[in-house]
């Protein structure tokens, strides 16, 4: 066979080393090019997808980055590496904070592994991003309602949900949520709820309830922020 017809031998280790070296030197384009050589042979290489995804994002190749994050998370999950899959969903969510599915997936893995507090945290983080743009507030409501399904008396989630509902013109729903929680609270937590009620409905009556709240002892049923 003629020399020029021979195919170059593919050495994953060598290509990966070149990619990592370029990445370390912040030669993003070169690193992406090397990582893609591996992905051309094995598109489901979770490690490489996880490495190239943030670089693609930096280059403005957001669709490619999203696919790489998604593929890495899926493959890690299929292979039983739940914590690695979780890390991918969280990293992807920080790059694409308005994608509610990413926050939900991170929360789902946490919940399945018995980490309810982490699940609520991810749902609230996602909701905090989604509550800002007007067109994403319903997704924020869905995330917060899911957080409250996991922890029905969570003070922070209830306050956040009431704020979002208020911004959506659903003050009555927000006030109802707050009142339901207020009936189970005392002390400083109750004062926070009354303050939130006043902000939603600034009436003399709600001001009075805010000023006089917190005089009875905190009840065990209340939750942390």
Tens digits of per-residue pLDDT, 88-128?
999 999 999 999 999 999 999 999 999 999 999 999 999 99
Give yes or no for residue 3 having a pLDDT over 90: no
Contacts of 82 (CB under 8 A, 6+ apart): 76, 109, 112, 113
Tens digits of per-residue pLDDT, 6-54?
455 778 999 999 999 999 999 999 999 999 999 999 999 999 999 999 9
Residue 215 is predicted with a pLDDT of 63
Task: Enter the pTM of the model.
Answer: 0.85
Residue 221 is predicted with a pLDDT of 45
Tens digits of per-residue pLDDT, 208-220?
999 998 665 444 4
**Is residue 176 a part of any domain in this protein?**
no
**CATH code at position 91:** 1.25.40.10
**Is residue 152 a part of any domain in this protein?**
no
Share of the chain above pLDDT 90, in %: 87
Residue 167: both structure tokens together: 């911004």
Residue 213 is predicted with a pLDDT of 86
Distance CA 188, CA 145 (A): 23
Mean pLDDT, to the nearest integer, of 130-142? 96
**Is residue 85 a part of any domain in this protein?**
yes
Residue 214 is predicted with a pLDDT of 64
Domain count, the chain: 1
Q: How far apart are the first and last CA of the chain?
A: 71
Parent domain of 84: 10-96
Q: What are phi and psi of 118, to 5 degrees?
A: -65, -40
CB count within 10 Å of CB 11 equals 10
**Is residue 195 a part of any domain in this protein?**
no
Distance CA 7, CA 92 (A): 37
The answer to whether the CB of 153 falls within 8 A of the CB of 181 is yes
Q: How many CA atoms does the CB half-sphere of 74 hold within 13 Å? A: 10
**Is residue 52 a part of any domain in this protein?**
yes
Q: What are phi and psi of 72, to 5 degrees?
A: -60, -45
Residue 169 is predicted with a pLDDT of 94
**Is residue 106 a part of any domain in this protein?**
no
Residue 8 is predicted with a pLDDT of 57
**Is residue 70 a part of any domain in this protein?**
yes
**Is residue 39 a part of any domain in this protein?**
yes
CB count within 10 Å of CB 94 equals 12
Give yes or no for residue 224 having a pLDDT over 80: no
The label of the residue with tokens 């319903």 reads 138
């Amino acid at each position: 066979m003629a020399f020029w017809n021979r195919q170059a031998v593919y050495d994953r280790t060598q290509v990966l080393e070149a990619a990592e070296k370029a990445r370390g030197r912040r030669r993003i384009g070169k690193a992406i090019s090397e990582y893609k050589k591996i992905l051309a042979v094995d598109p489901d290489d979770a490690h490489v997808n996880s490495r190239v995804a943030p670089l693609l994002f930096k280059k403005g190749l957001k669709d490619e980055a999203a696919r790489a994050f998604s593929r890495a998370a899926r493959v890690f999950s299929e292979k039983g590496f739940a914590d690695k899959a979780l890390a991918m969903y969280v990293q992807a969510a920080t790059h694409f904070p308005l994608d509610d599915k990413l926050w939900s997936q991170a929360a789902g893995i946490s919940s399945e592994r018995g980490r309810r507090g982490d699940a609520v945290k991810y749902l609230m983080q996602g909701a905090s991003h989604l509550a800002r743009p007007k067109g994403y507030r319903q997704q924020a409501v869905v995330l917060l309602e899911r957080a409250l399904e996991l922890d029905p008396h969570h003070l922070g989630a209830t306050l956040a949900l009431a704020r979002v509902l208020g911004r959506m013109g659903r003050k009555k729903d927000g006030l109802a949520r707050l009142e339901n929680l207020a009936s189970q609270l005392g002390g400083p937590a109750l004062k926070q709820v009354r303050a939130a009620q006043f902000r939603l409905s600034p009436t003399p009556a709600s001001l009075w309830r805010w000023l006089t709240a917190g005089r009875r002892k905190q009840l065990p049923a209340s939750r942390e922020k």
